[in-house]
Amino acid sequence: MTLLLLGEFENPEVWVSALQTYQPQLKIEVYPDVENLAEIDAILAWMHPLGVIEKFPNLKVIISTGAGVDHILRDPNLPPDIPIVRLVDDSLTSQMSEYILLAVLQYHRQLIAYKTQQSQGVWQGLPPRNTANCTVGILGLGVLGLDIAQKLKMMGFSVRGWSRTPKVLDTINCFLGEKEFKSFLSECEILVCLLPLTPKTEGILNQNTFSALPQGAYLINVARGKHLVEEDLLNALKSGQLSGACLDVFQIEPLPKNHPFWAHPNITITPHIAAKTIPACVAPQIIDAINKSQGGLLLNNTVDVSRGY
C-alpha cells in the first residue's frame, strides 16, 4: 500500500515517522517524487496543486490533514467517486476551544484596553462586565462549535449557536438556517465563526451581518479567511459597529505585509494556528482510513461533497 503526501507539508518527515509508527510497512511518498502513479492508493492532502489528484488511477481515498476540506474541494477535477475523509481529533478540538476562550476572555476582561492603559502608565479600573449578561454566538455547531459552546456555557456565558440542520441542546440556545440568522445575531456581543467554507457560507461575515449585531460587538474568525469580507470589517470597526476582531484566518495567507489589518489597533492577528494538526495524534485515524478504504469498508468522517463539508 502506498500513501502520497500531496501539497503543503511543513515537515513531511514528521508525518512519515508518525504514520509508520502505527503501520511500519506503509510505503509513503512525498509529491512530486512519485515512482509510479498507479501504485498510489491514498492521498494525504493540504492545499494540493490543482489538477494532480485526477492522475492516480488506483486511488481509493483522499484524506485532509485538517478538519476543513475546502482546500480539497476547490479542485474542479476531483475524481468523482473517491471518498474524502476529514480529521476529527481531540487535540484539534481542545486547541480550538483554548484559542477561542483566550479571545473571548481577552475581549470580555478588557485586556486590550488595559494594555493601552499600561502603555500610557494609566492605573484605572474599567467598569466590570457580568459574564451571565455576555452572549456569545457560535456560527456552526459541529465538532468544534459544540465543544466551545459547552465550555463557554460552563464558564457562565450566555451561549447561542447557529446551524444548517436543527439541534436541540439543553443549555445552548439553538438557531436554524437563514430564517433565524438575524434573530441569532441580534444579541451576540461576541460572534465566533466556526463554519466550513462552502458556497453558502463564503462572505457570510459581511456588512449586513455586522449591522445585525449589537453595537460594539466583537468578532472572532477561526474558520476561513473567505468567510470575511475584509473591507466590511474595516468599515464596521471605523463606524464603531464592531469594537474589535480576533482573526486567525485570512483571504490571502500569509497575510500580505502591506495589509491594513496588521497595524489596526483593534485587530488581533495570529497566523492560522488556532488548531494545528499534531501528526502523532491523528496518525491512527489516517491509517484506519487507508486500511478501510483498501477493503472497501465504511469510512469514518467522510465528507458530503454535495453540501461542501
CA distances from 106 to 102, 179, 187, 265 (A): 6, 32, 19, 14
Q: Is 275 in the site for ligand NDP (CB under 6 A)?
A: yes
Dihedrals phi, psi of 54, to nearest 5 degrees? -70, -10
For CA atoms 34, 38, 40, 43, the dihedral sign is positive
| Piece of the chain touching ligand OXD by CB under 6 A; list 22-30, 61-69, 119-127, 294-302 | 61-69
Q: Is 274 in the site for ligand NDP (CB under 6 A)?
A: yes
Q: Is 61 in the site for ligand NDP (CB under 6 A)?
A: no
For residue 224, indicate whether it is catalytic: yes
Round to whole Å and give the CA distance between 5 and 26. 12
16 binds, among ligand OXD, ligand NDP, none (CB under 5 to 8 A by kind): none
Dihedrals phi, psi of 246, to nearest 5 degrees? -120, 120
Task: Give me the residue label for grid cell 473567505.
Answer: 226
Min. distance of Cβ 66 from ligand NDP in angstroms? 6
Subset of 160-189 contacting ligand OXD (CB under 6 A): none
The CA angle 148-151-155, to the nearest 5 degrees, is 135
Binding string, 266-305, against ligand OXD, x = CB under 6 A?
---------x-x----------------------------
DSSP-based three-state secondary structure for 74:
coil
221 binds, among ligand OXD, ligand NDP, none (CB under 5 to 8 A by kind): none
For residue 109, indicate whether it is catalytic: no
Q: Is 67 in the site for ligand OXD (CB under 6 A)?
A: yes
Annotated catalytic residue, options 48, 71, 224, 227: 224
Question: Which residues, other chains included, contact 61 with Cβ-Cβ below 8 Å and sequence gap of 6+?
Answer: 41, 42, 43, 82, 83, 84, 85, 289, 290, 293, 299
Residues that are catalytic = 224, 272
Binding residues vs ligand NDP (CB under 6 A): 66-68, 92, 96, 140-145, 162-165, 177, 194-198, 200-201, 222-224, 248-249, 272, 274-275, 309
Interface ranges with ligand OXD (CB under 6 A)? 66-68, 275, 277
